Amino acid sequence: MKIHVKVPATTANLGPGFDALGLALDLWNEADFVATDDRQITLTIAGEGEGKLPTDANNPIVEAALQVYDLAKKPCSGIRIHCINRVPLSSGLGSSSTAMLTGLLGANALLGNPFNDEEILKLAIENEGHPDNVAPAMLGGLVASIVYEGRVISIKLPARANRSPMHVTIVLPDFDFPTRQARAILPKQVDRKDAIYNISRAVMVTEALRTGDLDLLGKAMTDALHQPYRLPLIPGAQAAMEAGRHAGAAAVALSGAGPSLIAFSSKQDPNIGHSMQRAFEAAGLSARIFELSTSYEGAEVMIV
Ligand code: HSE
């Protein structure tokens, strides 16, 4: 029996929805899991991270898979895992969430699903620390999350972007900006006016995505809590945002903690990505372009 797992990339924050909103994208990491009895965990990787990611017990997919065996109190007699990675690492596109979910879902399916989807999501959020990538990767579409009495509640919101995918351009500069660093530089306290700025806009962003109103999205997808501190640390990022808007994107934001930027537009237009890429190049950074759409579907597990 082979288990096939697919998990999408995600973009978190969506401008003002810092740590609260996330959206699944139509770019997928896939993995095959086979149970063996050779007492070995073998992991092979093709694509993003090939030759860079660990393939031993330190790989997050392996760690997550073994966590499921532990929690289910089942011995692991061996697993063979092969991954096809399309989500770039450390990019602001949720690659660590895809790895976490891949390991949890693959092992859970090998064991005959001792845990339901809600339990797997809860475990992934506890491991990851933030729900805004993990929850949309699991559920698909636009997802809002809150912490209620110490427990995360994540809800998939009705959004036009879910029903008819919106066009999205991701521009990823070749710049190391780990999430840990991108969080450490944020102020511990915020002004009331900045809090109001974000609360009001986060509501408008969900409404703009619900109705497909790109004009409203352009007005609302700005932020006072994280982008003003992060963008200046990524060479060319501010100029690339402006270049994207100038080239016709309705809205541009930092994707998650960065360093990639996400631009929304009514149609796929290569000029948007190229203009943003040139802005990064002018600041000395090469940049990759991904022309994508949003995904209503979240993680999928198949027995093949
Ligand atoms: N909301 C997070 C951040 C993204 O901006 O730091 C990673 O989950």
Residues 144 and 40 in one domain: yes
Residues 59 and 195 in one domain: no
In terms of Cα–Cα distance, which of 246, 245, 236, 230 is closest to 278? 236
Question: Average of pLDDT values for 188-202?
Answer: 98
Residues 139 and 189 in one domain: no
pLDDT at 86 over 90: yes
Q: Whose CA is nearest to atom 3 of ligand 1?
A: 257
- Which alpha helices (H) appear in the chain, and where do they start and end? 60-71, 95-110, 117-128, 131-139, 160-163, 179-184, 192-211, 214-220, 227-230, 237-246, 270-282
* Pocket mutation for ligand 1, best pick of 89, 93, 133, 254 (most atoms within 8 Å of C-beta): 133
Q: Whose CA is nearest to atom 4 of ligand 1?
A: 256
How is the beta sheet containing 251-254 ordered, strand by strand? 251-254, 261-265, 167-173, 287-293
Residues 132 and 243 in one domain: no
Which residue, chain included where needed, has tokens 């409404």? Answer: 207
Residues 125 and 241 in one domain: no
pLDDT digits (tens, 9 = 90+) for 33-77: 999 999 899 999 999 999 999 999 999 999 999 999 999 999 999
pLDDT at 163 over 70: no
Q: Whose CA is nearest to atom 5 of ligand 1?
A: 257
Say which CATH number the domain at 115 has. 3.30.230.10
Residues 265 and 253 in one domain: yes
Residues 189 and 145 in one domain: no
- 183 Cα nearest atom in ligand 1: 6
- Specify the number of domains making up the chain: 2
* Pocket mutation for ligand 1, best pick of 14, 18, 19, 145 (most atoms within 8 Å of C-beta): 19
Residues 32 and 42 in one domain: yes
pLDDT digits (tens, 9 = 90+) for 109-160: 999 999 999 999 999 999 988 899 999 999 999 999 999 888 889 999 987 6
pLDDT at 150: 84
pLDDT at 193 over 70: yes
pTM, two decimals, is 0.95
- 128 Cα nearest atom in ligand 1: 8
Residues 188 and 280 in one domain: yes
State in Å: Cα 200 to ligand 1 middle: 19
Residues 93 and 217 in one domain: no
Residues 110 and 235 in one domain: no
Residues 229 and 265 in one domain: yes
pLDDT digits (tens, 9 = 90+) for 228-262: 999 999 999 999 999 999 999 999 999 999 999 99
Find the residues whose C-beta lies inside 6 A of ligand 1. Answer: 12-13, 18-19, 130, 132-133, 179, 182-183, 226, 256-257
Say which CATH number the domain at 275 has. 3.30.70.890
Confidence of residue 161 (pLDDT cuts 50, 70, 90): low
Tokens of 8: 């999408």
Domain range for 228 is: 160-293
